[in-house]
Amino acid sequence: MGKLELGWPVWVGLVVEDLERQRAFYRGVLGLRELEAGNGWVWFEMGEGRLFELLAQEPSLPQYAQTGFTVAFEVEDIRAATSELESRGVSRVTEIEGGPESTQYWCYFRDGEGNLFEIVEKL
């Protein structure tokens, strides 16, 4: 097997059924500071470059089809990490997405029980 180094999660996402209800809960009840929002997502700042993101459930996208938590592990080289994960039989869910305009690349996978996780290369 090749080398694969996953960093501590830099992102935690939660796919939710009702984005606005959950946004109100995490912002209003738990007091998280909202950083940014867009169509189908809300970012909360968690300090030290870490994000907590709410994502609207979207059945047409495999990474957002089911509600639940997922984490993103930071990697130095997303293409090498993706190849290594696939060589180890890890199931890839999406292509590598993102780029310089978003300041990072990301790709989703499933673990042995089908749980979603993500790898991220920050630019």
Give the pairing type, strands 33-38 and 9-16. unpaired
51-61 average pLDDT score: 96
**Model confidence band, residue 15 (pLDDT cutoffs 50, 70, 90):** very high
Asked if the model's pLDDT at residue 67 lies above 90, the reply is yes
Domains and CATH numbers, the chain: 9-122 (3.10.180.10)
pLDDT surpasses 90 at 113: no
| Residue range 38-45: mean pLDDT, rounded | 97
Average pLDDT over residues 86-99: 96
Q: What is the pLDDT of residue 1?
A: 81
